[in-house]
Each structure stands twice: as structure tokens, then as C-alpha cells.
Amino acid sequence: MDILSGTGPVLVIAPHPDDEVLGVGGTMARLADAGREVHVCVATRGQPPQFSDDMVASVRAEAAAAHAVLGVTRTHWLDLPAAALGEHPHGAVNGAIGGLVADLGPDLIFAPHPGDIHLDHQLVFLSTLVASRPHQADYPATLLAYETLSETNWNAPYLTPAFVPNVFVDVSDTLDRKLGAFAAFESQVKPAPHERSVEALRALATLRGATVHKQAAEGFVLVRHVA
């Protein structure tokens, strides 16, 4: 009946672990409940010295817990260098994401918003767009950009691409699981009034929902839909 009602695999691409939950958590749970295969791709891996192997392992355990809450089918780790995609060969990022898209054949993809302040987000968006381009008969029918608290709202108003949602997904029934999944990312959650707090995430869901007369929603920007 709507843009979510397909049957093929779904792929959510996160530059760093927890982006996928902040932006698409409630929708992922709804899709999983509906029987869809839901894949998460985490594009980067924290690099030493900022991130030790232990820290990486710890965040991955958090992700596993969060993804279990949401019903994620499988999590794919691309291990590209975090906070360093700008220096990594663009072709290699294209190749890593493009390879996964080719393998899974998703008909619905969620990518970070190109207007996010984090350069990794901008570059992952571009590579996802390249991987999804309609240059052959088979390609993802729908590509949506999601918003990420603490990335999307911190860019420069009117000077960088704005996030103005035109697709709203009712997550009234899955918001609790989304917030629970986010809480599972103990290393990433910040206390209010930080924008990456449970309280801010709940407020965003309430606001996006109210815009379309729902208790809770996630907002997206449509990049392309082919019917």
C-alpha cells in the first residue's frame, strides 16, 4: 500500500554504528515485523589510536544487542577507516558499498543525509547513490535519506543541503524498541540535553509524528522511487 510494502531485502547503510538506529530504528523494526529481511551495513571501523580493538569490539557488541532488539537480519561491517573517508580512495568506498548492494539486491535502501556535518556521512551517501544508480534493469527501487541527531542539525543552515522530510513512517508501535535499541549503545548515548540523548530522540519522533497526525514517526527525504 505504500513505499514500505515491497518484499525484497532492505539495506540500511550507517557510516558509524548507531546512525542506523537514530535514523531508521523504528522503521527497521516495523519492516522486520512485516517479515522483511533487514540488513544493516556499517561502513567504517574506528581506527587507533582514537579507537582500540577493545573499544571497537565493545561497540560491535552494543550494535549486536541493538540490532537484535530491532529484528535486524544481518549486520555487515565494511571496515573502512572512520573519520578518514575523505582520504580513502573514493573508488574503494564505491566498491565496498557497491559490492554489498550487488550481493544483496535490496529493493529499498536507507542512506545518511548528504547534508550531515560529518564528512563520512556525505561520502557514504554519495557512494550509496553511485551503487544504486539505474544503469541496468535491476537496481533498488527506492532510496531514502535519513536524519541523524548530532549530525544533521549541526550543519550550516541554508549553506548546506537541508533535511526537510517528505516521507514519514509511522513508528508508533515500534518507538519503544527504537529507544531501547539506542539505549543499548551505551558508549554512544549522551545525557540530555545532548542531541544524541534518548530524550531528544523521543522528542524528534513525537514531532515527526505530529506533522502527520501520528503518535510517532521517522522522517526521510526521498532520493528516488521507481514504480
d(C-alpha 222, C-alpha 144), whole Å: 5
CB-wise, 75 or 177, nearer to its own copies?
177
Stretch that binds its own copies, among 18-26, 70-78, 179-187, 217-225 (CB under 8 A): 217-225
Across the strands, what pairs with 40?
12, 75
In terms of CB distance, is 99 or 134 closer to its own copies?
134
Cα–Cα distance list, 90 to 14, 32, 125, 127, 162 (Å): 17, 32, 12, 8, 24
Q: Are 100 and 88 in contact (CB under 8 A)?
A: no
* Cβ neighbours around 154 below 10 Å, total: 12
Number of Cβ within a 10 Å radius of residue 63: 25
Q: Which of residues 19-78 bind its own copies (CB under 8 A)?
A: none
Cell 510517532, residue located:
216
CB under 8 A: which stretch of 56-64, 97-105, 177-185, 211-219 binds its own copies? 211-219
Q: How many residues bind its own copies (CB under 8 A)?
A: 78
Q: Whole-angstrom distance between the N-terminal and C-terminal Cα of the chain?
A: 12
Task: Please name the amino acid found at residue 27.
Answer: T
For its own copies, the closer of residues 100 and 223 by Cβ is: 223
Spatial contact of 93 and 127, defined as CB atoms under 8 Å apart:
yes
Q: Which residues pair with 111 in a beta bridge?
A: 145
Q: Are 144 and 167 in contact (CB under 8 A)?
A: yes
Please tell me whether residue 13 binds its own copies under the rule CB under 8 A.
no
> At closest approach, how far in Å is the CB of 181 from its own copies?
19
- Between vectors from CA 180 to CA 172 and to CA 219, what angle results, nearest 5°? 45
Q: How far is the CB of 207 from its own copies (least distance, A)?
A: 5
Interaction with its own copies in 169-208: which residues (CB under 8 A)? 169-170, 192-195, 197, 199-200, 202-204, 206-207
- Minimum Å gap between C-beta 149 and its own copies is 7
Q: Does 214 bind its own copies (CB under 8 A)?
A: yes
Single out the residue of 32, 167, 175, 181 in contact with its own copies (rule: CB under 8 A).
167
Candidate residues 76, 98, 168, 183; the one interacting with its own copies per rule CB under 8 A: 168
Q: How far is the CB of 7 from its own copies (least distance, A)?
A: 7
Considering the complex, state which of residue 65 and residue 214 has its C-beta at the smaller distance from its own copies: 214
Judged by CB under 8 A, does residue 102 bind its own copies?
no
